Amino acid sequence: MKKVFVNGYGSIGSRITAFLKDDPEIEVIGIGKYSPDEKVTFATSKGLNVYAPEKKLHDFKNFKISGSIESALDECDLVIDASPGGYGFKNKKTLYEPRNLMVIYQGGETIVGDQAVSDLLFNSRANYDLSFGKKHVMQGSCNVTGMGRILEPLRDRFGDEIIRFDVTLVRRWADIEQTEKKVEDTIEMTEKPHHGDDVKTYFGKDVPLFVRAIKVPTRQMHLHIMDIRFKNSAPKPSELHSLFSKEFGVATLWTAKGTKDVRDFADTMRFNFTDTNMIHIHANMTTSIEDTVQMMYSDDQTGIVIPENHMLMQSMLFGKSYQEAFSYTESLFHMKEKKQKLEEYFAILG
């Protein structure tokens, strides 16, 4: 059994931990907390050992904690860093590299420039095998992971027939549990979004992919609006949808009016954290006009990267093949079943 420490217990860290607790190959030795708040009590009530930074131990005197993060790191085989964007790099320098630890970082980090945490941005659909033997790997962000689930199958099927991808990312303002974050009543424009460049690290730097992004006042998922331009006539929507029928982590829905409908259904089905862990093609919005397919899909911002982290962890810790890791992740996340339930519920009314 391998020992894993999850450093950070916010939207992503708490989800990863919840799944790892059900994984018999893994012992979660603890989680790292930086603020002495009610989430410490929540975590201990879930049976988790909570650790705090050595320098802050005094601030946690009214909570039941198990020791310092530094001491926990000395005991573990792999760290999943789930800190706020940019802190992963700082942790790498101060905590992980000095201990020669294996680490997975999240999408708020970068793999370019002097703050790079790794030379690999992981996307299981695109580059699983490249993670073998690596010590430091970054999991792509939710938008970057979601785009890969659409782009890779399209390229596999249509290749050079596609001459351009244009994507507008409509990003959520905050996560459902981030109640302390106010959702501003504005539409914010993102200058030079990183998402296109991140996708190109696995999709190819010269791919004609053009991405722009805005942020809107919602907590209910991201929505990607994508136009795919073909050399000749574009395929019919039905041909496009059938391409995704067997894809992992992609559900094709017809009757969801908005992103909240999807989360509400996930809630009634008691999926963990109301996550679907996937993207959802809103098939009623797909059109094919002359040389262009227009499509929209929503991206479960908090859930989508959790099975990806699990796949990556298996490659790094156990060197499992893609197929072995995929089957094992499926046995814990039940993605096939979730996809089927979503597709049945949001099917075309007969």
Q: Is 28 in the site for ligand NAP (CB under 6 A)?
A: no
Query: Which residues inside 239-298 make contact with ligand NAP, applying CB under 6 A?
Result: none
DSSP characters over 153-177? HHHHHHGGGEEEEEEEEEEESS-TT
Q: Residue 6 or 26: which CB sits closer to ligand NAP?
A: 6
Tell me, yes or no, if 142 is annotated catalytic.
yes
Residue 225's SS3 state is strand
Of residues 221, 224, 222, the one with CA closest to residue 211: 224
Q: Is 237 in the site for ligand NAP (CB under 6 A)?
A: no
Q: Which span (71-79, 100-108, 242-250, 275-283) binds ligand NAP, by CB under 6 A? A: 100-108
Shortest reach from residue 239's CB to ligand NAP, in Å: 31
Q: Is 6 in the site for ligand NAP (CB under 6 A)?
A: no
Distance CA(105)–CA(122), nearest Å, equals 10
Distance CA(348)–CA(11), nearest Å, equals 33
Shortest reach from residue 303's CB to ligand NAP, in Å: 8
Measured from each CB, the residue nearest to ligand NAP is 10
The 8-class DSSP code of residue 92 comes to I
Q: Is 84 in the site for ligand NAP (CB under 6 A)?
A: yes
Q: Which span (3-11, 147-155, 230-238, 267-275) binds ligand NAP, by CB under 6 A? A: 3-11
Q: Is 83 in the site for ligand NAP (CB under 6 A)?
A: yes
Of residues 198, 205, 176, 37, the one with CA closest to residue 122: 198
20 token code pair: 């790892």
Strands (E), the chain: 2-7, 26-32, 50-52, 67-68, 78-81, 102-105, 121-122, 136-139, 162-172, 188-190, 209-216, 222-230, 250-253, 279-282, 287-289, 292-299
Q: Residue 108 or 153: which CB sits closer to ligand NAP?
A: 108
Distances (CA, A) of 326 to 100, 125, 272, 282, 345: 28, 10, 19, 25, 25
Shortest reach from residue 199's CB to ligand NAP, in Å: 14
Q: Give the DSSP H or E segment for 235.
A: none
Q: Is 12 in the site for ligand NAP (CB under 6 A)?
A: yes
Tell me the β-bridge partners of 6: 31, 80
Total residues in contact with ligand NAP, by rule CB under 6 A: 26
Q: Which of 43, 142, 147, 266 is catalytic?
A: 142
Query: Which residues inside 156-185 make contact with ligand NAP, applying CB under 6 A?
Result: 175
Query: Which residues inside 30-59 make contact with ligand NAP, applying CB under 6 A?
Result: 32-35
Q: Is 196 in the site for ligand NAP (CB under 6 A)?
A: no
Distance CA(285)–CA(288), nearest Å, equals 10
Q: Is 7 in the site for ligand NAP (CB under 6 A)?
A: yes
Q: Is 305 in the site for ligand NAP (CB under 6 A)?
A: yes
Residue 256's SS3 state is coil
Shortest reach from residue 73's CB to ligand NAP, in Å: 11
Binding mask 216-235 for ligand NAP (x = CB under 6 A): --------------------
Return all residues near 1 (Cβ < 8 A) that are at least 6 apart.
24, 25, 26, 27
Q: Residue 146 or 237: which CB sits closer to ligand NAP?
A: 146
Q: Residue 195 or 320: which CB sits closer to ligand NAP?
A: 195
Q: Is 82 in the site for ligand NAP (CB under 6 A)?
A: yes
State how beta strands 67-68 and 50-52 pair.
parallel
Distance CA(220)–CA(84), nearest Å, equals 20
Positions that interact with ligand NAP (CB under 6 A): 7-13, 32-35, 82-85, 87, 91, 106-108, 141-142, 175, 301-302, 305
User: Which residues are annotated as catalytic?
Assistant: 142
